[in-house]
A and B are shown apart, each in its own frame.
Chain A
Amino acid sequence: MGEFRVLEVKQSIFADNDRRADELRKELKTKKLFLLNLMSSPGAGKTTTLKKTIRCLQDKLTIGVMEADIDSDVDARSISELGVKTIQLHTGGMCHLDTEMTRQGLKGLEADGLDLAILENVGNLVCPAEFDTGAVKNVMILSVPEGHDKPLKYPLMFTICDVVLINKIDVLPYFDFDLEVCKSYILKRNPNAIIIPISACTGEGIEEWVQWLSKEVRNW
């Protein structure tokens, strides 16, 4: 065995994943496949919002969904009832998806030929924000019961998102949630964020969100 020596590495631990993410985005561009990364905390309404979104778009676009969870397939089953291609990804205890896992997911979904692939990330506001999945756009859902202070508590998540959907606005009267204050907190972290208040339950605001998404998919 040779002598041990010190090697200067000076590399961010995220650098390798970031490089893979850029490669994946390039491939998606040539395939004209739009990958959307959807994030939120558990229970913010990702699956319900997704179902509403799919119903609005499935006549115009071919859609596939990857459901990432630590365990179970309840979300994948619920989405597949809508008649779109769905697969469940199990992270085996991991709190986020990285580019390599996303790439495997797209392969499993047989996503080539789709217009839109949606990745429903693990419910978590911390780790998914740190790992680029290779998605074209990042969207997060913040729900009213979580409180308007979340952009201050999870700054990175709000910094990396292109769109923030504020969900469950139908229950605003029952919660101490200040929509304007929340918007100002988000914009302080991310001046370019598009903020759309919605209710996945009543359908309020969904049209604006779906219009944004279809435009982005068309332009990709």
Chain B
Amino acid sequence: MHELGLVTHIVRTIEDISIEVQLTNVSSVTLELGEVSGVIPDYLTDCWKYFRVKSELLKEADLKIFMIPAVTICEDCNRTYSTLKYKKICPHCGSGTTYLKTGTEFNIKEIEAC
């Protein structure tokens, strides 16, 4: 259900762009998806296939997903590490003063269209 809502927003955004730059047919849409964005790629693809046919512009467009790893940075030692592997505590110095640098992205990177 979550992914379906997101798909409607992707479609709306691309439809707006298509009016702006006069596109009539989109063959692919590439997304950047962070590892901890909370979006499940498989579900998103399924919802995409269900929903794209409702749009004249996107009915044949493939969805490509480019994953972005989740990286946390430590404020104390200034080093970075994998968020999924080590979570909140810095594996280099043991500090808990860490924050997420990348991994929550949910962007439309590019579209292929004419």
Contact = CB atoms under 8 A, between A and B. Distances in A.
Contact of B108 (A6, A13, A94, A156): A13
Contacts of B13: 9, 11, 13, 15-16
Interface string A1-42: 111111111111111110000000000000000000000000
Given A94-B1, A95-B2, A126-B38, A6 B111 contact: yes
Interface of B is mostly: mixed
A93 interface: yes
Contacts of A2: 114
Interface stretch (B4-12, B67-75, B77-85): B4-12
A17 B109 CA distance: 17
Contacts of A3: 114
Contact of B1 (A4, A9, A93): A93
Nearest to A95: B1
B16 to A, nearest CB: 7
A4 B106 CA distance: 24
A32 to B, nearest CB: 30
Band of interface residues on B = 20 to 34
17 contacts: A4-B113, A6-B111, A7-B21, A9-B17, A10-B107, A11-B107, A12-B105, A13-B6, A13-B106, A15-B13, A16-B12, A16-B13, A93-B4, A94-B8, A98-B5, A98-B9, A156-B38
Interface of B: 1-2, 4-6, 8-10, 12-14, 16-17, 21, 23-25, 27, 31, 38, 105-114
